[in-house]
Amino acid sequence: MGNKLQILKVLLIAGALYYFIGAIVHLFGLTVFPFYDGVLYQPYHDTVIALSAITLGLLLYVIARDPKKNIDALNIIIVSGIIAIIFSIGIIININFDQLGAHLKRTQTIVEAVLLVCYVFVLNYFKPKK
């Protein structure tokens, strides 16, 4: 059980770092695959997204400190990840990124969705049992 818990902590810290990087990318409108295509930069919306990403990163960091104690929050992260996957699929199907001038964004969204499916799967696999 100790190894699984250590792996989970590393995965949670990695997730926090991913969201912290994503926050910086959105805040400054940088093009960094798979986070963001700067062509879509909108200062108000990207600032709100950056704030959300920072909050999510902090939550992942706090959960990583003691995943057993924070199991309910970890379960919320897993459910939120599943919801985000569904939203990503909707974005992939419904948004014409070529019309927006962001030709790579469809591929970025697909990569993000696949990474999120993998991340949610491994979080669920390594989470401690109550």
- Taking the whole predicted model, whether its pTM rises above 0.85 is answered as yes
* pLDDT average, residue stretch 36-64: 91
CA quadruple 31, 35, 41, 46: dihedral sign: negative
CA distance 19 to 58: 9
CA distance 119 to 40: 26
Alpha helix segments (H runs only) across the chain: 2-28, 43-65, 71-94, 105-126
Residues contacting residue 93 through CB under 8 Å, at least 6 positions apart = none
What are the extents of the domains in the chain? 2-126
Render pLDDT for 90-129 as a digit per residue (tens, 0 to 9): 999 999 988 888 778 888 899 999 999 999 999 999 999 8
- Centre a 10 Å sphere on the Cβ of residue 91 and count the other Cβ atoms it contains: 16
Render pLDDT for 9-49 as a digit per residue (tens, 0 to 9): 999 999 999 999 999 988 998 877 666 777 788 888 889 99
